[in-house]
């Protein structure tokens, strides 16, 4: 037990886990069952209450962005979460949330229901109800256990003025002008002052960084109306240990990931310039369909094409 604890990884958000916690082909590469067994071991053998609670955090966070694959994994996880350590369902105290000077109390709100056991609730404000001071959000939890939530601020903005968003998913999109030289193809970055010409070949490069394993992820890369893609055939792709499905549509290229491991990935595909004008190249967006609160986008890019 001492060796297991010394070899574990600890993170304030993700809890306590091991780097070997990944889904594999063999029967013993089952992260959910293994984590549940570790919770039982640290509770029964080591009598380490803090480690048990930290191990439960990782189990809950894994369910946030991934699917527990089998009924066995689900039953083992539920057994470990409900029958070991702190009783997560014993307390009915709600998390205290403040938006500026306003206290968010769902019990005093109309048409807001609190889910039994989990304490989940959802509410929204629109139009003139939203004040600038509501951007200062404080959250306090009085009882033991883990809790999480999300806040969304939705508004309209021109694509060119959108700035990048940094979440557990981070995107960086760049456009490069490809020219053939005596030494082979050379890529040069396209800036706001670069003037392209019809017939130029452009390469799109998208850098994706993800800080945890996720499943069922969709990435959509918009493109200017002056660009036409060269790889128009949809199909399954494989690169750098990552498998995904790529499909090209009229206004964007879509990438679908069944499983996205923690790490950094680079995607590239070619375009060709077709006609003159001043265009918005849009943004690249990505979202975990299993956990929609994990979403991000790149900054907006402007493209100029002259004669």
Q: Crossing angle for the helix pair 49-65 and 71-83, nearest 10 degrees?
A: 140
Question: What's the order of all strands across the beta sheet hosting 96-99?
Answer: 102-104, 96-99, 137-140
Domain 162-305: CATH superfamily is: Alpha-macroglobulin, receptor-binding domain (2.60.40.690)
Tokens representing residue 114 in the block = 């609190």
82-117 confidence digits (pLDDT tens): 888 888 777 778 888 999 888 988 888 888 888 887
184-189 and 214-222 beta bridge pairing: unpaired
Provide mean pLDDT across the span 256-277.
93
Contact criterion met (CB below 8 Å) for 263 and 248? no
Provide mean pLDDT across the span 62-69.
89
Report the C-alpha gap between 43 and 229 in whole angstroms.
57
Query: What pLDDT score was predicted for residue 174?
Result: 93
Return the percentage of the chain with pLDDT > 70, whole number.
100
Return the percentage of the chain with pLDDT > 90, whole number.
51
- Decide if pLDDT at 209 tops 90: yes
Query: What pLDDT score was predicted for residue 141?
Result: 87
CA dist 223 to 257, 269, 302, Å? Answer: 20, 12, 10
Angle CA 89–92–94, to nearest 5: 120
Query: What pLDDT score was predicted for residue 228?
Result: 93
Tokens representing residue 305 in the block = 């094409």
Strand partners for 273: 227
7-54 confidence digits (pLDDT tens): 999 988 889 999 887 777 777 778 999 999 999 999 999 899 999 999
Provide mean pLDDT across the span 268-283.
92
From 114-123, 251-260, 290-299, the region with the lowest mean pLDDT: 114-123
- Decide if pLDDT at 203 tops 90: yes
- Contacts of residue 220, defined as CB under 8 A and 6 or more positions apart, other chains included, come to 252, 253, 254, 255, 284, 285, 286
Provide mean pLDDT across the span 112-127.
87
Query: What pLDDT score was predicted for residue 111?
Result: 85
Report the C-alpha gap between 276 and 305 in whole angstroms.
5
Report the C-alpha gap between 176 and 188 in whole angstroms.
5
Query: What pLDDT score was predicted for residue 71?
Result: 92
- Contacts of residue 13, defined as CB under 8 A and 6 or more positions apart, other chains included, come to 61
Query: What pLDDT score was predicted for residue 183?
Result: 85
Provide mean pLDDT across the span 55-64.
92
| Mean pLDDT computed over every residue of the chain | 89
Report the C-alpha gap between 88 and 90 in whole angstroms.
6
pTM for this model (two decimals): 0.85
Domain extent listing, the chain: 2-83, 96-140, 162-305
Report the C-alpha gap between 241 and 286 in whole angstroms.
20
Contact criterion met (CB below 8 Å) for 230 and 270? yes
- Decide if pLDDT at 133 tops 80: yes
Contact criterion met (CB below 8 Å) for 96 and 142? yes
Tokens representing residue 66 in the block = 């991934």
């Amino acid at each position: 037990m001492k060796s297991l604890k010394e070899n574990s990884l600890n993170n304030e958000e993700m809890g306590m886990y091991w780097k070997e916690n990944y889904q594999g082909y063999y029967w013993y590469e089952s992260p959910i069952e293994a984590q549940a067994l570790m919770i039982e071991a640290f509770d029964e053998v080591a009598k380490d209450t803090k480690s048990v609670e930290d191990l439960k955090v990782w189990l809950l966070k894994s369910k946030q962005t991934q699917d527990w694959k089998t009924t066995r994994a689900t039953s083992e996880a539920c057994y470990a979460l409900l029958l070991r350590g702190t009783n997560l369902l014993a307390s009915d105290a709600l998390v205290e949330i403040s938006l500026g000077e306003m206290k968010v109390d769902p019990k005093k709100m109309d048409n807001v229901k609190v889910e039994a056991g989990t304490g989940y609730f959802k509410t929204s404000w629109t139009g003139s109800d939203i004040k600038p001071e509501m951007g200062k959000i404080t959250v306090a939890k009085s009882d033991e256990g883990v809790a999480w939530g999300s806040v969304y601020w939705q508004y309209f903005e021109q694509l060119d003025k959108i700035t990048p968003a940094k979440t557990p998913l981070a995107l960086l999109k760049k456009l490069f002008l490809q020219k053939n030289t005596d030494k082979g193809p050379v890529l040069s970055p396209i800036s706001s002052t670069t003037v392209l010409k019809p017939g130029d070949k452009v390469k799109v490069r998208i850098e994706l960084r993800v800080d945890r394993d996720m499943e069922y992820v969709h990435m959509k890369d918009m493109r200017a109306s002056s660009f036409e893609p060269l790889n128009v055939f949809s199909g399954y792709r494989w690169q750098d240990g990552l498998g995904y499905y790529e499909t090209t549509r009229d206004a964007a290229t879509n990438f679908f990931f069944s499983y996205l491991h923690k790490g950094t990935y680079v995607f590239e595909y070619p375009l060709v310039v077709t006609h003159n004008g001043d265009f918005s190249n849009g943004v690249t967006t990505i979202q975990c369909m299993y956990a929609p609160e994990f979403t991000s986008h790149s900054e907006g890019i402007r493209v100029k094409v002259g004669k």
